Amino acid sequence: MILIENLKVTYRTAAGPVEALAGVSFAVERGESCAVIGPSGCGKSTLLYVLAGLKQDFEGKVEVAGRTQIALILQHFGLLPWKNVWENVALGLKVRRLPPQEVERRVSFWLKNLGLYELRYLYPAQLSGGQCQRVAIARALVLQPDLLLMDEPFSSLDALTREALQETLLEIWQETRCTIVLVTHSIEEAVFLGQKVVLLSPRPGRVVAVYTHPLVGDKSWRHHPDFHLACTRIRQELSRAGEAKTG
Ligand SMILES: Nc1ncnc2c1ncn2[C@@H]1O[C@H](COP(=O)(O)OP(=O)(O)OP(=O)(O)O)[C@@H](O)[C@H]1O
Ligand SMILES: [Mg+2]
């Protein structure tokens, strides 16, 4: 579904070039869930912008399978403040000129599924951070994407809501068989959701390791002994990569 070879991204700023990604290579199979984890500023959001086609100024090779319907959930939600919850979620479908009944059906389905239906006439400024996050998720899912790109979609949720939404995401993934690339800071989240976990070094991001977790999708995976081993391994690898960087 996705093939990335030697991807390099450099931002040009008034203070000189900032190298964000320095030669990243990995692949994601169709239907696979891939988590990308790495320290703040290592280029994770940049990687998603490239995959979404929003950043075209890069070196290296990036291939996304043809005719892929892509949805991107931005780190800061990207909600329109002057539109209410319903309108924000319906936006992408209206742009695609879907028939009004179909817009109605998909939007109410996802608002109900994500516990937002009662809030549908409120505006983003009237919502909590976690509610905004769910609106951003609903807005992506109504598009019925084949490729779902998510930039820390659960970061402003409390632990229990976060776990519940991770499980909802797994169900959606299993039902729709979409491909997922999820950026996260949370080791547990990466291991719970990522059949493949790509670990990036501090900026400029390079791939330090790639792990596979065949039990992802199984609800009991979080309580499996191997789950904790996998988390420990990634924690050690991340701190080793950080130390190598600082000296
Ligand atoms: N538009 C830009 N212009 C200049 N530099 C940028 C720009 N966007 C990002 N950067 C720099 O590129 C690097 C990577 O940024 P990016 O947002 O991809 O990191 P990230 O891994 O998503 O970080 P975080 O985990 O904090 O969200 C950072 O050092 C950042 O300062
Ligand atoms: Mg980011």
Other Cβ atoms within 10 Å of 220 Cβ, number: 8
What are the pLDDT digits (tens) for 189-214? 999 999 999 999 999 999 999 999 99
Q: CA 228, 190, 183 angle in degrees (round to 5)?
A: 160
What are the pLDDT digits (tens) for 132-147? 989 999 999 999 999 9
Q: How far is the CA of 20 from the centre of ligand 1 (A)?
A: 7
pLDDT at 84: 97
Q: How far apart are CA 132 and CA 79, in angstroms?
A: 8
The mean of the pLDDT values for the chain is 93
Nearest alpha carbon, ligand 1 atom 14: 43
Q: How far is the CA of 200 from the centre of ligand 2 (A)?
A: 13
Burial (CB count within 10 angstroms: exposed 0-12, middle 13-18, buried 19+), residue 239: exposed
Q: Which residues line ligand 1 (CB under 6 A)?
A: 11, 13, 18, 20, 40-46, 75, 203
Residue whose tokens read 């991107």: 72
Ligand 1, from 46, 73, 74, 184: best to mutate by most atoms within 8 Å of Cβ? 46
* CATH architecture of the domain covering 1-12+28-69+147-247: 3-Layer(aba) Sandwich (3.40)
Q: Is the pLDDT assigned to residue 244 strictly greater than 80?
A: no
Please, what is the angle between helix 100-113 and helix 129-141, to 10°? 140
Q: How far apart are CA 241 and CA 239, in angstroms?
A: 5
Which ligand lies nearest the alpha carbon of 46? 1
Q: How far is the CA of 152 from the centre of ligand 2 (A)?
A: 8
Which ligand lies nearest the alpha carbon of 9? 1
Contacts 24+ apart (CB under 8 A), 89-92: 89/116, 89/135, 89/138, 89/139, 89/142, 90/142, 91/139, 92/139, 92/142, 92/143
The residue extents of the domains of the chain are 1-12+28-69+147-247, 78-144
Nearest alpha carbon, ligand 1 atom 4: 11
Give the helix, strand, coil percentages of the chain, each rounded to 5.
Answer: 45, 25, 30
Q: Three-state secondary structure along 131-152?
A: HHHHHHHHHHHCCCCCEEEEEC
Query: Global pTM?
Result: 0.93
Residue whose tokens read 């030669």: 23
What are the pLDDT digits (tens) for 10-55? 999 999 999 999 999 999 999 999 999 999 999 999 999 999 999 9
Of ligand 1's atoms, which has the minimum distance to the CA of residue 183? 22
Which ligand lies nearest the alpha carbon of 20? 1
